[in-house]
Structure 1
Amino acid sequence: MTREPGALRRLAAHEGKVLGSFGMWIGRRRHQVGPEDRAFGYAGPQAATVYGLAFVCVVETVGVSFLVRQWPVVHAVLFVLDLYTVVLVLGTQSAAVTRPHVLTPDALRVRAGARVDLVIPLDRIAGVRDELRFQGAGGKAPDDVLELPVGSQTSLTVELAGPVTHVSLLGKRREVSVVRFHADRAGELANAVRAAVAP
């Protein structure tokens, strides 16, 4: 398996963004949402799962600490690793909350936490519809379809008049002409996009 150039650097940058989201989360700020922009959240369906996973990780940390307490070095190393895992799990939720989808006067910015930030110019949008789809339903998506499910579901489909370039977390580039993603207020976002692209 070949690695994309700069994969480790990209992963480190991603973790930095995730950890940096805590400060914005605590301060109730959002990443790059201007005064004329409209933000639309999408983190609702995954919140219970993330917090449940964080709780399980905490329980696992306590259990492992008890089992290896007679080996101080092992105990310290595993405690730090487990604690960092809990921080990263909670960081995925903080990144999703602080990096919402954004509708600007010129573009629709579709995001998935710190992992995806796709800017779609409004003049590239051919149509948008709110439709609930579950991940995996109907088989694997075509190569020109970008799916960004939350809680294994998407609620909006944006069809493009021309392709836009999506860059993956590890730097792989591909052209997409359909974007499926979730928004907590899918109907409101769909109506706002339609109004923005209307002649």
Structure 2
Amino acid sequence: MRPGDHAAPYTGPQTAMMYGLVFVSLIETVALAVLIPWPAVHRVVLVLDVYGVLLMLALHAACVTRPHVVRPDGTLRIRYGALFDLTVPPDAVASVRVDRRYPEGRLVTLSEDGVLDLIVGSQTTVTVELTRPLAFRRPLGARAEARVVRFHADEPRALVAALRQPAPP
């Protein structure tokens, strides 16, 4: 981040779930270590369990260290860890508002009418209507375009205020 940037974290709704999954995975690792009598199978399962725990911790750490960012010039960067990154230039923003929704679907959901939902903890809290469609990459690399972007921010009012604030002269 640069000086003057406004960071907007988005991990609030998922933190308890992520740590809960890590805890359950650790319990599973210990239980399987006791239950599996074959050394070769035990080693393979142990490696897979440790890899899964590290993957969950890394995903959450990436989300914590890569928040949404509003730059002083009004550029909005919407992110989800290392999986999703969309830069919205200030001239592409028609309107922005706090708008809590509970959409169904995966992390990145694009409707037929061009509404992109970046869902965290089964919710979105900010809606950005665009002046033109913006191209983006989905987490697995496919390209798409959106004309409305809805995403989650832990403090949506602060993010919306930072976007509406005029750039300093």
TM above 0.5, yes or no, is yes
Q: 1:75 aligns with which of 26, 39, 42?
A: 42
Which one of the candidate residues 31, 34, 51 is aligned to 1:84?
A: 51
TM-superposition CA deviations, 1:151-179 (whole Å, max 9, x none): 10000000000111110122111111100
Structure having the larger proportion of residues in strand: 2
Deviation (angstroms), 1:141: 3.4
Which residue of 2 is the match for residue 175 of structure 1? Answer: 145
1:185 and 1:141, CA in 2 relative to 1: closer, same or farther beyond 3 A? same
* Matched position secondary structure for 1:157: strand
Q: CA separation in 1, counterparts of 2:40 and 2:2?
A: 48
| One-letter amino acid of the structure 1 residue matched with residue 116 of structure 2 | L
Gaps in structure 1 of 5+ consecutive residues: 1-32
1:101 aligned residue = 68
Instruction: Give 1:150's match in structure 2, choosing from 103, 120, 132.
Output: 120
- CA-to-aligned-CA distance 1:62-118 (integer Å, 9 cap, x gap): 1111111x3111111110110010111111211110000011134100011111100
User: Which residue matches 1:189?
Assistant: 159
> In the alignment, residue 169 of structure 1 is paired with which amino acid?
P
Give the number of aligned pairs: 162
The 4+ residue runs of structure 1 with deviation greater than 4 A are none
SS at match of 1:178: strand
Structure 2 residues without counterparts, runs of 5 or longer: none
AA aligned to 1:119 is T
Contact between 1:122 and 1:196, CA under 8 Å: does it hold in 2? no
Measure the CA separation in 2 of the matches of 1:196 and 1:91. 36
- How does the TM-score come out when normalised to structure 1? 0.77
Distance 1:110 1:79 in 2: 36
3-state SS in 1 of match to 2:165 = helix
SS in 1 for 2:20: helix
Shift of 1:34: 1.2
Aligned: 1:54 with 2:22: yes
RMSD after superposition:
1.6
TM-score with structure 2 length normalisation?
0.90
Q: 1:116-152: CA deviations, max 9, x gaps?
A: 1000001100000001100239xx8335111111110
